[in-house]
């Protein structure tokens, strides 16, 4: 394969994204792309597809591809000019360039696009670019299909939860009286009454490291089946072995306890995201007394509960929720039998989500092993 060596500024032109505070985002379907992915939606696009975006501030090195109109946030850089190169090839090529080494920020990682101008990039002809993109896109297409299946599965479980526990149309509801606005036998309790264990982890002095045991931080507490392996942190094996709290086990529910997105939650299990991992000090592990972890996850995922948890912090100067604050949260708890039934019914859906997520991880690993070999011509196309 013949490769032309050119400077990065002859390969593409990068442009800084556009300011858009969360308070100014209007309801719409236009994705707002930050340094690591979608950070919101808006009713107006700034750029037409195809788009390739990378992080400018906060997180560096995550490369994104978008095939619909979008708004690149000011924390990102977007490709303004592909200079006749195949857009999908540009996306894959940029994934190999290790932009993290050009971090110019002291405390906050920052990428100055001018520092990239003189990078030497090896680029094949357009037909070869198209063939490489086609091969790698097969993996991305499979991953996207699995993501769509995950979304449908999660939505089906959410709808079932709302049907049973918000609209009170659970099995046998026709024979149950409504007393004080809730089914008879349902009662108001403290949230912590259903919790058997709540704990968070930590990190050694000096912070997390580049290898060891994965440590889940708040950035990866973002819904079931979602996990960004590219920004993962680790703690030493020796530190992990000495941890009394914060070790993750299958079906743990994790809660974002302090920072910008208090109340966000996820559930782990069946080896996803890891067979062995822990959480850091910004994440709570929650375990229930009667092993109703599926129910707990979908309960905590309800908008009104997430808002209630966020409100626990409304009068605090320091953003964060404590165990004491969670103890003050009052909830309406159904009869145990209906909760157990939902948990059992949801189990097959939750397991499917984890299996698809693990499959996506393996597909991404296979793609990323193939990527550099295709780019330098080790594998002919």
For β-strands 71-72 and 30-33, DSSP reports them as: parallel
Q: What percent of the chain has pLDDT over 90?
A: 82
Q: Predicted confidence band at 108 (pLDDT cuts at 50, 70, 90)?
A: confident
What's the pLDDT score for residue 105? 72
pLDDT surpassing 90 at residue 316:
no
- Give SS3 for 20: coil
Tokens read off for 80: 């303004």
Which conformational region is residue 344 in: left (phi greater than 0), alpha (psi within -120 to 50 degrees), or beta?
A: alpha
Other C-beta atoms lying within 10 Å of the C-beta of residue 52: 25
Decide if 281 contacts 254 (C-beta within 8 A).
no
| DSSP label of 112 | -
Same fold, 4-121 and 152-336: yes
Rounded CA-CA distance 45/378 in Å is: 40
CATH of 4-121, one of 3.40.50.2000, 2.130.10.10, 3.90.180.10, 3.90.220.20: 3.90.220.20
First to last CA, the chain: 8
Which of 258, 251, 245 shows the shortest CA–CA distance to 309?
A: 258
CATH code of the domain occupying 152-336: 3.90.220.20
In percent, the amount of the chain with pLDDT more than 70 equals: 98
For the stretch 127-177, pLDDT in tens is 999 999 999 999 999 999 999 999 999 999 999 999 999 999 999 999 999
**What are the residue boundaries of the structural domains of the chain, listed by start?**
4-121, 152-336
Q: At what angle do helices 293-300 and 336-376 cross, to 10 degrees?
A: 80
**Tokens 């309960």 sit on residue:** 299
**pLDDT tens-place string over residues 239-284:** 999 999 999 999 999 999 987 788 999 999 999 999 999 999 999 9
């Amino acid at each position: 394969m013949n490769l032309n060596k050119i400077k990065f500024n002859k390969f593409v032109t990068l442009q800084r994204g556009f300011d858009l505070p969360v308070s100014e985002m209007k309801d719409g379907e236009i994705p707002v792309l930050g340094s690591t992915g979608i950070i919101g939606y808006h009713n107006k696009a700034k750029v037409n597809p195809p788009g390739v975006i990378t992080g400018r501030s906060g997180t560096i090195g995550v490369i994104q591809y978008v095939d619909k109109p979008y708004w690149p946030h000011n924390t990102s850089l977007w490709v303004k000019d592909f200079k006749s190169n195949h857009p999908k090839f540009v996306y894959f090529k940029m994934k190999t360039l290790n932009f993290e080494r050009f971090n110019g920020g002291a405390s906050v990682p920052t990428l100055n696009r001018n520092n990239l101008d003189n990078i030497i990039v090896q680029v094949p002809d357009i037909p070869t670019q198209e063939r490489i993109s086609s091969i790698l896109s097969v993996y991305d297409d499979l991953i996207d299909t699995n993501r769509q299946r995950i979304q449908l599965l999660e939505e089906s479980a959410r709808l079932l939860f709302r049907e049973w526990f918000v609209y009170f149309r659970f099995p046998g509801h026709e024979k149950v009286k409504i007393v004080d606005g809730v089914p008879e036998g349902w009662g108001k309790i403290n949230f912590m009454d259903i919790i058997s264990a709540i704990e968070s982890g930590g990190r050694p002095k000096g912070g997390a490291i580049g290898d060891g045991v994965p440590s889940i931080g708040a950035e990866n507490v973002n819904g079931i089946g979602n996990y960004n392996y590219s920004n993962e942190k680790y703690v030493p094996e020796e530190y992990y072995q000495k941890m009394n709290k914060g070790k993750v086990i299958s079906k743990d529910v994790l809660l974002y306890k302090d920072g910008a997105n208090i109340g966000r939650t996820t559930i782990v299990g069946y080896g996803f995201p890891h067979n062995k991992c822990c959480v850091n000090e910004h994440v709570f592990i929650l375990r229930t007394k009667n092993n109703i972890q599926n129910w707990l996850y979908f309960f905590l995922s309800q908008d009104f509960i997430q808002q209630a948890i966020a409100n626990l912090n409304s009068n605090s100067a320091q953003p964060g929720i404590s165990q004491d604050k969670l103890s003050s949260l009052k909830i309406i708890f159904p009869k145990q039998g209906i909760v157990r039934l939902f948990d059992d019914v949801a189990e097959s859906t939750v397991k499917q989500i984890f299996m698809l997520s693990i499959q996506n991880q393996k597909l991404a690993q296979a793609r990323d092993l193939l990527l550099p070999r295709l780019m330098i011509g080790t594998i002919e196309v």
